[in-house]
Chain A
Amino acid sequence: GESVGLHLPTLSVQEGDNSIINCAYSNSASDYFIWYKQESGKGPQFIIDIRSNMDKRQGQRVTVLLNKTVKHLSLQIAATQPGDSAVYFCAEKGRGDDKIIFGKGTRLHILP
């Protein structure tokens, strides 16, 4: 079953503002936590991952934060653009495991 889930199903953000998408997980044995983006009519697309021994990782306009104390993962998107409109899934991968398991998604809606 899923070991990752999200707090909010829909998030509306003004264009240009920063977005923060949250995810709670239950499997402490996960080796990697991953964020995927799925636009309408497309398959999921990898955004960024973070290994379980890290607490922060930055990419282009995105930052992932991992708080192992409270088993919480977040994705921060800077200066949100209309192209960021999508469903965002957190996912996890166990050590030595061949599976990528997806949690529930959050729909990010960009307000003009």
Chain B
Amino acid sequence: DTEVTQTPKHLVMGMTNKKSLKCEQHMGHRAMYWYKQKAKKPPELMFVYSYEKLSINESVPSRFSPECPNSSLLNLHLHALQPEDSALYLCASSPSTGSTEAFFGQGTRLTVV
């Protein structure tokens, strides 16, 4: 199984809502990532987890809250988002943070209204 599964595929939320994005991998990878991608732009790194511990937070606003409950799961909790946070949110995993090959999910298309 070389798949990273993200749910939901699409999400529309209001600015006062709380929602969560979920990501799962069963490749035994110990590094997991969240990226944000706006249309026609490259993915921008948000968070890196290594062995279930937060390794990097790229100065992401606190309305985005990551969580890694176990080695297979990665969540991104969303609260009080702004319309400009609308984007494709991509989850990825790799064997370790030293790897150059990251396996990406299909992403969650988020629209904030």
Contact = CB atoms under 8 A, between A and B. Distances in A.
Contacts of B31: 98
Contact of A43 (B44, B92, B101): B92
B45 interface: yes
Interface in A48-102: 49, 89, 93, 98-102
The residue in A2, A44, A103 that gathers the most chain B C-beta atoms within 10 A of its C-beta is A44
Interface of A: 2, 32, 34, 41-46, 49, 89, 93, 98-105
A101 B45 CA distance: 7
Please report whether the interface of chain B is mostly helix, strand, loop or mixed according to DSSP. strand
Nearest to B50: A98
B97 A43 contact: no
B107 interface: yes
Contacts of B103: 46
Contacts of A102: 42-45
Please report whether the interface of chain A is mostly helix, strand, loop or mixed according to DSSP. strand
A43 B104 contact: yes
- CB-based closest 3 A-B pairs: A43-B104, A102-B42, A98-B97
A49 B48 contact: no
Nearest to A41: B106
Contacts of A103: 42
Nearest to B45: A99
B42 A43 contact: no
A32 B100 CA distance: 7
Contacts of B50: 98
B100 A49 contact: yes
Contacts of B101: 34, 46, 49
Given A44-B43, A99-B45, A102-B43, 15 more contacts: A32-B100, A34-B100, A34-B101, A43-B105, A43-B106, A46-B101, A89-B42, A98-B50, A99-B56, A100-B33, A100-B45, A100-B100, A102-B44, A102-B45, A104-B42
